[in-house]
Amino acid sequence: MEQILQVFFNAAILERAWPFLMRGVTMTLLLSLVVVPIGLASGLAVAMLYHLHRKWLSRFLIAYVDFFRAFPPLVLLLFIYGGLPFLGIDLPLFGTVALAFLLNTSSYYGEIFRAGLESVPAGQAEAARSTGLSRGQTMLWVILPQATRNVLPDLISNTLEVIKLTTLASVIGFTELLNNARNAQALTYNATPIVAAALIYLVLLWPLVRLVSRLEHKSIAVR
Amino acid sequence: MELQRLAFSFFNGDVASRYWPDIVHGMWVTTYLAAAIVATGLAAGLALAMARSFHFRPASFLIVVFADAFRALPPLVVIIVLFFAFPYVDLAMSAFSATWLALSLVLAAFAEEIFWAGILSVPKGQTEAARSTGMSRLQTLVYVILPQAVRLTIAPLTNRMIAVTKGTALGSVVAVHEIIYYASSGASEAGNPTPLTLGAAAYVVLFLPVVMFSRWIETRFAWKR
Amino acid sequence: MLKGIDLAVAQGELVFIIGPSGSGKSTLLRCCNRLEEPTSGSVVVDGTDITRPDVDLNRVRQKIGMVFQSFNLYPHMNALGNVTLALRKVQGLGRAEAEAQGMAALTRVGLAEKARAYPNELSGGQQQRVAIARALALEPKILLFDEPTSALDPELVGSVLKVMRELRESGMTMVVVSHEMQFARAAADRVVFMDGGVILEQGRPEKIFSRPDHARVGEFVARIASHQ
């Protein structure tokens, strides 16, 4: 028992590592604040392009989405990180991470928004167009609000996944929470920093998990 | 010239011929690991959902805590805690076991929630009808509720299985000898990204059919909205 | 599929279109505001050929109101929101002005007190009247009704027909696709019978319903009447 406390919950070590961990939390939140909006925007773009129902464009988009859904995000990240320099492109670490996330999350959010747009009955657009609303106005004021509401549980659930994925950036040395925790662990030769990091993730993300659960059960209840 | 350089970098025949046996071995490890995770995770998730359906409060509470925790924790964090933290208390496990256990726990947590949602979606009258014919709780669950519940769970389970098994790539962080481990060590050894290309192609070969299968599943067994 | 339809609707006229399913009634109606694109020919509304490529379709459509079988109210907006959306976004009215105009339209269909209700809080008949108000608010020159009562429970049909009758009396030009024969008999100026994408016969309601020239029209009318 004593030993477990010493190794996993060592107060002295936690105190030393704390500022370091907090800087990691800040970077994790910052990274999330960048990659989630990028993912939402690009996913929405993918879905709206699909919604034009141009045969070849749709096929291309499905291929794009499936390709990046088949690709483990870590592989994508390492491929971009390791491959871009050979193309003579020198992206900063943040840019590398953002690019990998753009490709990965646009396909997931894209699938969700696509399902959302398809869930809105065709009569909605017809009614809007019959009152003189343009294509764009119809999309913005009539279709999108309904589509988003219909897939809100999936959107939040995917956002949770995207935030969890930010841990991958630690693999290429981006100094977010997990990366800092591992460095602290290596320096102190004690497991407390990574256990603390795990608990921080738990505290930060647990509310989102609860929210997803509630929304999903609610949507089952109304069926 | 540019194109030639591109080909030399990413599609270098010499490098490819040197490293493809490693990648193939990695593919085998990835497949094996993924299969083990799917088997363990689904079985554990189903068992937990069934246990929860008996409405024994303390057990249900623990199951919910477990499911919440492993849905909230990033899988990479779970792997790293298992692999790097437990050796300090003499509970060392191999990188393969740590990855297998971590991702099985994660899949079990998600699978439990999906199976549970499926069980809840079956109308109460089904249980009442079955119990009124003298079937036990377990019999009711196995013969009446689950067959109806499973149909609704197929599409979300497939998607979650894909997401979690793609996580086998995370094993490379603790040096599991799977595809991306060979691909990145090969790339740095050769000073050429061709092994990364091979690795990427290997994942597409393994997972693209599964993703396409899931698309088919989704249209076939879609949640009725 | 429509084959050479030639139909003129006078101002203030109520034209009723009947015919078996698949006869092209709805298609004809939807060509009138180009929800369906005619492959050839022209559609002239209020002196404007709306099939010309340089026509501002969204401008024209405001003058051609449409009411759908399935109401197609926007579920995320309350009744007033449904009625004022196009006023605000297309005509660019301010909120106050749009709401005043929207309330006037809701009052005409007898639903002023339901302005803040959402579609799922309204009965089918009320939803359809909100949909009529949505079209009316734009002050259209003509109203198109695509089977406005066929998705309604029988006891709710009357409230919608009452609104349509009042519109008729106020001089609104209307084209109605429907099987409400009694209503047609009482309110229509002209009944058009369509079959296989062509107009088979048209005339005063009493003529079409009592002594049509074509046997097929008589059979159809008798079949519908026996269901009502």
Residue B1, in any domain of the structure: no
Residue B4, in any domain of the structure: no
Neighbours of chain C (3+ CB pairs under 8 A): A
Asked if B2 is an interface residue toward chain A (Cβ–Cβ < 8 A), one would say no
Asked if A142 is an interface residue toward chain C (Cβ–Cβ < 8 A), one would say yes
- For residue A197, what pLDDT is reported? 94
Domain end position, chosen among C139, C156, C184 = C139
- For residue A220, what pLDDT is reported? 55
B10 vs A187: which has the higher pLDDT: A187
Chain C residue whose CA is closest to A126: C35
- For residue B221, what pLDDT is reported? 67
Query: Using the beta-carbon criterion (under 8 Å), do C68 and A123 form an inter-chain contact?
Result: yes
Query: Using the beta-carbon criterion (under 8 Å), do A146 and C86 form an inter-chain contact?
Result: no
The closest CB to that of C76, out of A123, A130, A149, belongs to A149
Residue C11, in any domain of the structure: yes
Both C4 and C95 in one domain: the answer is no
Both C50 and C146 in one domain: the answer is yes
Contact B172, B180 (CB under 8 A): yes
CATH number assigned to the domain comprising residue B59: 1.10.3720.10
- For residue B193, what pLDDT is reported? 86
Query: Using the beta-carbon criterion (under 8 Å), do A66 and B169 form an inter-chain contact?
Result: no
pLDDT band of residue C228 (cuts 50, 70, 90) is low
Asked if A79 is an interface residue toward chain B (Cβ–Cβ < 8 A), one would say yes
Tokens of B143: 């013969």
Query: Using the beta-carbon criterion (under 8 Å), do B74 and A178 form an inter-chain contact?
Result: yes
> Which chain B residues are closer than 8 Å to A72 by Cβ?
166-170, 180, 203, 207
Size of interface A-B (CB pairs under 8 A): 152
CA proximity to C189, closest of C211, C174, C210, C170: C174
Q: Do chain A and C touch: 3 or more Cβ pairs under 8 angstroms?
A: yes
User: What CA–CA distance (Å, rounded) separates C188 from C165?
Assistant: 10
CA torsion through residues A72, A76, A79, A81, sign: negative
> Is the model's pLDDT at C78 over the cut of 70?
yes
- For residue A9, what pLDDT is reported? 81
User: What CA–CA distance (Å, rounded) separates A112 from A125?
Assistant: 20
Please state, as a whole number, how many other Cβ atoms lie within 10 Å of the Cβ of residue B15.
Answer: 23
Asked if B184 is an interface residue toward chain A (Cβ–Cβ < 8 A), one would say yes
Both C125 and C169 in one domain: the answer is no
Residue B58, in any domain of the structure: yes
Both C150 and C42 in one domain: the answer is yes
One-letter-per-residue 3-state SS of chain C: CCCCCCCCCCCCCEEEEECCCCCCHHHHHHHCCCCCCCCCCCCEECCEECCCCCCCHHHHHHCEEEECCCCCCCCCCCHHHHHHHHHHHCCCCCHHHHHHHHHHHHHHCCCHHHCCCCHHHCCHHHHHHHHHHHHHCCCCCEEEEECCCCCCCHHHHHHHHHHHHHHHHCCCEEEEECCCHHHHHHHCCEEEEEECCEEEEEECHHHHHHCCCCHHHHHHHHHHHHHC
The closest CB to that of C134, out of A123, A131, A141, belongs to A131
Per residue in A120-175, pLDDT (tens digit) is 999 999 999 999 999 999 999 999 999 999 999 999 999 999 999 999 999 998 99
Region of residue B90 (left: phi > 0; alpha: psi -120 to 50; beta: else): left
Both C157 and C211 in one domain: the answer is yes
Q: How many domains does chain C have?
A: 2
Residues 6+ apart with CB under 8 A from B206: B27, B30, B31
- For residue A222, what pLDDT is reported? 45
The residues pairing with C15 across neighbouring beta strands, listed in sequence order, are: C175, C190
Q: How many domains does chain A have?
A: 1
User: What CA–CA distance (Å, rounded) separates A182 from B140?
Assistant: 48
Give the domain range for residue C83: 75-139
Region C43-53: mean pLDDT is 89
> Is the model's pLDDT at C86 over the cut of 60?
yes
Per residue in A55-70, pLDDT (tens digit) is 999 999 999 998 888 8
Q: Do chain B and A touch: 3 or more Cβ pairs under 8 angstroms?
A: yes
Give the domain range for residue B86: 18-220
Interface of A with B in 20-59 (CB under 8 A): none
Q: Which residue, among A13, A68, A78, would best test binding to B if mutated, counting the most B CBs under 10 Å from its CB?
A: A78
> Which chain A residues are closer than 8 Å to B99 by Cβ?
none
Residue C69, in any domain of the structure: no
Residues 6+ apart with CB under 8 A from A196: A14, A17, A21, A181
pLDDT band of residue B85 (cuts 50, 70, 90) is confident
DSSP annotation string for A111-160: HHHHHHHHTS-HHHHHHHHHTT--HHHIIIIIIHHHHHHHTHHHHHHHHH
DSSP annotation string for A83-115: HGGGGT----HHHHHHHHHHHHHHHHHHHHHHH
Query: Using the beta-carbon criterion (under 8 Å), do B85 and A191 form an inter-chain contact?
Result: yes
Asked if A124 is an interface residue toward chain C (Cβ–Cβ < 8 A), one would say yes
Q: Which residue, among A75, A109, A165, A209, would best test binding to B if mutated, counting the most B CBs under 10 Å from its CB?
A: A75
Please state, as a whole number, how many other Cβ atoms lie within 10 Å of the Cβ of residue B225.
Answer: 9
> Which chain C residues are closer than 8 Å to A145 by Cβ?
76
> Which chain A residues are closer than 8 Å to B84 by Cβ?
182, 185, 191, 194
Query: Using the beta-carbon criterion (under 8 Å), do C72 and A121 form an inter-chain contact?
Result: yes
DSSP annotation string for A71-85: S-HHHHHHHHHHHGG
Both C86 and C173 in one domain: the answer is no
The closest CB to that of A8, out of B85, B113, B166, belongs to B85
Q: What is the mean pLDDT of chain C?
A: 91
Q: How many domains does chain B have?
A: 1
Residue in this structure with the two tokens 């939803």, named with its chain if needed: C127
**To the nearest whole angstrom, how far is the Cα of A219 from the nearest Cα of chain B?**
9
CA torsion through residues B67, B73, B75, B78, sign: negative
The closest CB to that of A142, out of C64, C66, C74, belongs to C74
CATH number assigned to the domain comprising residue A159: 1.10.3720.10
Both C219 and C144 in one domain: the answer is yes
User: What CA–CA distance (Å, rounded) separates A113 from A155?
Assistant: 8
Q: Which run of H or E residues covers position A172? A: none
User: What CA–CA distance (Å, rounded) separates C175 from C14?
Assistant: 6
**To the nearest whole angstrom, how far is the Cα of A221 from the nearest Cα of chain C?**
17
Residue C68, in any domain of the structure: no
> Is the model's pLDDT at C107 over the cut of 80?
yes
Please state, as a whole number, how many other Cβ atoms lie within 10 Å of the Cβ of residue C120.
Answer: 8
Output C158-165 pairs: Cβ under 8 A, ≥24 positions apart.
C158/C125, C159/C110, C159/C125, C159/C126, C159/C129, C160/C125, C160/C128, C160/C129, C160/C132, C163/C108, C163/C109, C163/C110, C163/C129, C163/C132, C164/C132
Residue B188, in any domain of the structure: yes
Give the domain range for residue A67: 2-221
Residue C70, in any domain of the structure: no
Query: Using the beta-carbon criterion (under 8 Å), do B73 and A216 form an inter-chain contact?
Result: no
> Is the model's pLDDT at B1 over the cut of 70?
no
Per residue in A20-58, pLDDT (tens digit) is 999 999 999 999 999 999 999 999 999 999 988 889 999
Domain end position, chosen among C139, C156, C176 = C139
Query: Using the beta-carbon criterion (under 8 Å), do A194 and B166 form an inter-chain contact?
Result: no
Tokens of C32: 């009138």
CATH number assigned to the domain comprising residue C151: 3.40.50.300
> Is the model's pLDDT at A194 over the cut of 50?
yes
Q: What is the mean pLDDT of chain A?
A: 90
The closest CB to that of A130, out of C66, C74, C75, belongs to C66
As separate numbers, helices (DSSP H) first and strands (DSSP E) second, chain B gives: 10, 0
> Is the model's pLDDT at C161 over the cut of 60?
yes
Domain end position, chosen among C115, C139, C163 = C139
Residue B225, in any domain of the structure: no
Both C144 and C132 in one domain: the answer is no
CA proximity to B71, closest of A8, A68, C116, A163: A163
> Which chain A residues are closer than 8 Å to B173 by Cβ?
74, 171
Please state, as a whole number, how many other Cβ atoms lie within 10 Å of the Cβ of residue B104.
Answer: 23
Per residue in C1-40, pLDDT (tens digit) is 788 888 999 999 999 999 998 889 999 999 998 888 888 8
**To the nearest whole angstrom, how far is the Cα of B160 from the nearest Cα of chain A?**
11
> Is the model's pLDDT at B211 over the cut of 90?
no
Query: Using the beta-carbon criterion (under 8 Å), do A141 and C89 form an inter-chain contact?
Result: yes
Query: Using the beta-carbon criterion (under 8 Å), do A223 and B224 form an inter-chain contact?
Result: yes
Chain C residue whose CA is closest to A144: C76
> Is the model's pLDDT at C130 over the cut of 80?
yes
Tokens of A2: 């004593």
Query: Using the beta-carbon criterion (under 8 Å), do B88 and A8 form an inter-chain contact?
Result: yes
- Which amino acid, residue A67? F
**To the nearest whole angstrom, how far is the Cα of A185 from the nearest Cα of chain B?**
9
Q: What are phi and psi of C199, to 5 degrees?
A: -85, 115
Q: Do chain B and C touch: 3 or more Cβ pairs under 8 angstroms?
A: no
Residues 6+ apart with CB under 8 A from B34: B165, B168
